[in-house]
């Protein structure tokens, strides 16, 4: 009977029953958590006092907006604007504020007027890319070196039409294709041209012109060979590339799901 006896066990206190039954005697702690924290522990950021924001002192503006004239050398109509060879445009510019009494309030009507200070050349004109040089040919050069309507299916009138569009739209073939409306002739009606047809015709004409203009001079021939490489064009490869892209674009959602499933199985 003495096996379960524990000499260190303390007898139950008589006050325990009081605390268990008399819950009104239990008082909740009133101290804040920051008061009972360890004296050497750093308080959290939420307990730190936040400084009150000070009212920002308004500084007097040292600049203002004024209408100014400028010249944009990147525009094609810059050279043919007037007798002086310059085109003056207007915009609102941020300039230093003048002394009191000299600065007047500007309105949009002032910006549209021809008066105003000259801001000089446009600073962002240097970032405009140069337009590609579209080659041209003479009547004699075409008859002597470029006449191949039986082989290529391009007449001189259609070739002239293509080169005129390339000059007008700065060699942008996609825009040229969108504007391409050649009516054709009685001898040879118009044919439906694709973008690779336009590129192939232009680059073939330029390569023939380079070879013809080089002549027998070895230096001109060497320089012409490097230019021919720049104007190279793979018609078959370009056509196959566009057909492959078109086939990928025309896929149905079911085909895309099947290809995705096959790709995951191969991984």
At which residue do the structure tokens 């924290």 appear?
Answer: 37
Residue with the bigger pLDDT between 189 and 177: it is 177
**Cβ-Cβ contacts under 8 Å for 31 (sequence gap 6 or more):** none
Of 94 and 40, the structure prediction assigns the larger pLDDT to: 94
Average pLDDT of the chain to the nearest whole number: 76
End-to-end CA distance of the chain: 74
- Residue 80: predicted pLDDT: 57
Write down the pTM of the prediction: 0.55
What are the pLDDT digits (tens) for 100-151? 655 455 555 554 444 556 667 788 878 877 667 778 899 999 999 998 887 8
Assign 32 a pLDDT band (cuts: 50, 70, 90). low
Q: Counting Cβ atoms within 10 Å, is residue 51 exposed (0-12), middle (13-18) or buried (19+)? A: exposed
Question: Regarding predicted confidence, which is higher, 17 or 212?
Answer: 212
Check residue 229 and give its pLDDT: 87
Lowest mean pLDDT among 20-24, 84-88, 150-154: 20-24
| Residue 81 binned pLDDT confidence (cut-offs 50, 70, 90) | very low
Phi, psi of 121 (to 5 degrees): -70, 155
Could you give the CA distance from residue 15 to residue 131 in angstroms, rounded to a whole number?
100
């Amino acid at each position: 009977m003495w096996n379960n006896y524990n000499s260190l066990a303390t007898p139950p206190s008589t006050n325990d029953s009081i605390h268990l039954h008399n819950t009104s005697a239990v008082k909740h702690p009133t101290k804040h958590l920051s008061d009972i924290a360890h004296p050497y522990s750093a308080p959290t950021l939420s307990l730190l006092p936040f400084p009150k924001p000070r009212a920002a002192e308004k500084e007097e503006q040292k600049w203002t907006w004024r209408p100014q004239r400028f010249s944009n050398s990147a525009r094609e109509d810059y050279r043919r604007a007037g007798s002086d060879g310059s085109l003056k445009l207007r915009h609102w510019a941020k300039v230093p504020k003048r002394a009191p009494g000299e600065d007047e309030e500007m309105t949009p009507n002032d910006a549209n007027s021809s008066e105003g200070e000259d801001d000089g050349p446009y600073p962002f004109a240097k970032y405009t890319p140069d337009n590609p040089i579209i080659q041209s040919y003479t009547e004699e050069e075409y008859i002597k070196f470029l006449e191949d309507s039986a082989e290529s299916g391009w007449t001189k009138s259609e070739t002239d039409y293509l080169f005129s569009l390339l000059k007008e739209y700065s060699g942008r073939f996609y825009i040229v294709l969108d504007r391409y409306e050649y009516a054709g002739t009685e001898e040879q009606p118009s044919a439906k041209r694709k973008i690779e047809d336009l590129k192939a015709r232009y680059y073939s004409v330029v390569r023939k012109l380079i070879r013809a203009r080089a002549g027998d001079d070895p230096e001109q021939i060497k320089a012409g060979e490097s230019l021919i490489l720049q104007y190279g064009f793979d018609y078959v490869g370009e056509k196959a590339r566009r057909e492959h892209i078109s086939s990928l674009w025309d896929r149905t959602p079911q085909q895309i799901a099947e290809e995705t499933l096959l790709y995951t199985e191969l991984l």
